[in-house]
Amino acid sequence: MIEVSRGYKRNTQAETLEVDGEWVILHTAKYTVTRLNEVGGLCWELLQQHRTVQELTEEVMKSYDITAQEAERDIEGFIEELRRMDLVEHAD
């Protein structure tokens, strides 16, 4: 379960490439490739620095027509998936 108040950041072993609004993340230690859409790319960019789920939610709401509840649910799922793939880690 994602802790909403806890901060997250990118794993330093992940390389990123952005092409035509699509993001590709290469996890060099695990030899995996992950593709992100535009919203995922925005969050990935923000995760260069320590960010909480709430901070990411606010940024997504500024850029897209989405409710706070939808944004938070989506961000929590996104962070959980990135954690599962070892692409983000706790920043604390």
Report if residue 19 sits inside a domain.
Answer: yes
Look at residue 34 in the predicted model and tell me its pLDDT. 94
pLDDT tens string 31-44: 999 999 999 999 99
Number of domains in the chain: 1
* Sign of torsion over alpha carbons 79, 42, 8, 35: positive
DSSP assignment of 34-69, as one string?
A: EEE-HHHHHHHHHTTS-EEHHHHHHHHHHHSS--HH
Is the pLDDT reported for residue 26 higher than 70? yes
Report if residue 33 sits inside a domain.
Answer: yes
Parent domain of 50: 12-84
Residue 19: pLDDT band (50, 70, 90) is confident
Model confidence, pTM: 0.88
CA neighbor of 3 nearest in space, from 67, 87, 80, 81: 80
